[in-house]
Amino acid sequence: KAGVTQTPRYLIKTRGQQVTLSCSPISGHRSVSWYQQTPGQGLQFLFEYFSETQRNKGNFPGRFSGRQFSNSRSEMNVSTLELGDSALYLCASSSQRKLLWDMNTEAFFGQGTRLTVV
Amino acid sequence: GNSVTQMEGPVTLSEEAFLTINCTYTATGYPSLFWYVQYPGEGLQLLLKATKADDKGSNKGFEATYRKETTSFHLEKGSVQVSDSAVYFCALNEDRGGAQKLVFGQGTRLTINP
């Protein structure tokens, strides 16, 4: 079973540009989450999608957006890049169902996309 | 809101030493608790988990017990190896009406010397 695939692995962008990162979840997984990892702030939640709907969003500015397609693949977009957006962006997928009492969910992470803004 | 606090690193040990990495949490309800490990240049790998109070998660010689009374989930290993060198993250699963979110501690960098 293939794992979570994130592309590209590395990106270098200039301030003011925009960027799109892609995540292909494990086959059959319908929940995809995105996290930003920086040395200063650690791992911070960006958003979560389930069946093409954004269910949860972290405290990031509107420059950060995402979407999920019908095949569960997800993209996140960052517009008007700032130096502080340099980070490792991690995507996680899970087989979590909509049931509130499904306590055996676990998230599987991709290797991440390393974004450097210069 | 929910939060996770880990012992500050870095932690440096000799091979075959006993390891403890402390983790405490603040949460409403009864979240699932996790330990993730990150090797250099990699994403996060689930190391172990516990979904309810008094559950013990274990994997690859690592163990952690979900302690509701002390709101803790400390990671332990009896004899560490050089290959255990990595960054370890404690996390809880925040469930808001079905929407899932992992809340992570700040991470503890572990270095094992031969």
Q: Residue A38 in contact with residue A87, Cβ under 8 Å? A: yes
Confidence of residue A100 (pLDDT cuts 50, 70, 90): very low
pLDDT band at A98 (very low <50, low <70, confident <90, very high): low
- Min Cα distance A15 → chain B (Å) is 24
Query: In a mutagenesis test of the B interface, which of A106, A111, A113, A114 is the best target, namely the one with the most B β-carbons within 10 Å?
Result: A106
pLDDT tens-digit readout, A11-53: 999 999 999 999 999 998 889 999 999 998 999 999 999 999 9
Is the CB of A92 less than 8 angstroms away from the CB of B102? yes
> In Å, what is the CA distance from B39 to each residue of A38, A89, B18, B36, B47?
15, 15, 20, 10, 12
Q: Which residue of B has its CA nearest to A40?
A: B106
Q: Which of B45, B96, B100 sits opposite A96 (nearest CB)?
A: B100
> Residue A94's pLDDT is what?
87
Question: pLDDT confidence of A62, banded at 50, 70, 90?
Answer: very high
- List all residues 6 or more positions away from A97 whose beta carbon is below 8 Å from its beta carbon: none
Q: Tell me the pairing of strands B75-77 and B19-21.
A: antiparallel
- Contact present, A4 and A26 (Cβ < 8 Å): yes
pLDDT at A112 > cutoff 80: yes
Higher pLDDT, A82 or B51: A82
Q: Do B46 and A98 touch (CB under 8 A)?
A: no
- B-chain CB neighbours of A56 within 8 Å are 96, 99-101
pLDDT band at B105 (very low <50, low <70, confident <90, very high): very high
- Cβ neighbours of A96 in B, within 8 Å: 100
Q: For chain B, give the percent of residues with pLDDT over 90.
A: 78
Q: How confident is the model at residue B8 (pLDDT cuts 50, 70, 90)?
A: confident
Is pLDDT at A101 greater than 50 in this prediction?
no
